[in-house]
Amino acid sequence: MRSNCRLVIVMSKGILGKKIGMTSIFHEDKFVPATVIQAGPCYVVDVLTKERNGYAGVKLGFEEARASLVNKPETGVCKKAGVPVLKHMKEFRGMDGGIGDRIDVGMLDGVKSVTITAVSKGKGYQGPVKRWHFAGWFKSHGSKGLRRVGAIGCRLTPGRVFKNHKMAGHMGCDVTTVTGIRVLAVDAEKNLLVVKGSIPGAENALLTIKA
């Protein structure tokens, strides 16, 4: 039986950006929280091919910087591509482009939602109540263990603490990806992208935006 299905290859879109901060705007007669992002401009510093890299795509550079702040290999890559010295570089698979091409936020015009990846805010060393939302101990009769972790094991079988037991420790500073973030506005002239709600990362955090 012959199938009428055909393979359709959809090129992905991606850009690097920086989180500016949060605000609130009117959208569709509603007052909604929003995050403002400086998305681009980026430059294509290298083209990835299946023959050389094993997959197709491009490497984008973002945020101009002094040569003294960027290591020599990446400075050489920018010089070879004929673009300014760029501070951040990242590969985007399945994306099309040529060396030296300028990518701005206008490429996301008409896109309804995006996926954003960033490093979440670091909270330092935190206890189990803040880190894992433990309820804590009872608060009556002079209890002194309000925010303690409580018992973590037993002297009987197996006589040990299980792995991955939720306890106090380092919190945050993790690579976090959030999908389905709704795009509210795209300002190609100012290289601004406005999305609904919050996104991971502190202000000025590097963002990877994919559509």
Torsion of CA 185, 186, 190, 195, to 10 degrees: 60
- In tens digits, what is the pLDDT along the chain, a chain of 211 residues? 454 544 334 458 899 999 999 999 988 888 999 999 999 899 999 999 999 989 999 999 999 999 889 999 999 999 999 999 999 999 999 888 888 889 999 888 889 999 999 999 999 999 999 999 998 888 888 888 888 888 888 878 888 888 899 999 999 999 999 999 999 999 989 999 999 999 999 999 999 999 8
The pLDDT score that the predictor gives to residue 135 is 87
CA angle 112, 113, 114 (to 5 degrees): 140
The C-alpha angle 108, 111, 47, rounded to 5 degrees, equals: 45
Q: Which residues contact 7 (CB under 8 A, 6 or more apart)?
A: none
> What is the C-alpha separation between 168 and 185, in angstroms, rounded?
41
Per DSSP bridges, beta strands 30-39 and 86-93 are unpaired
Q: Where are the domains of the chain?
A: 14-124+175-210, 125-172
pTM: 0.81
The pLDDT value given to residue 11: 58
State which CATH number among 3.90.1150.10, 3.40.50.150, 3.30.160.810, 1.20.120.640 fits the domain covering 14-124+175-210: 3.30.160.810
pLDDT at 10: 46
Q: Look at residue 7 in the predicted model and tell me its pLDDT.
A: 37
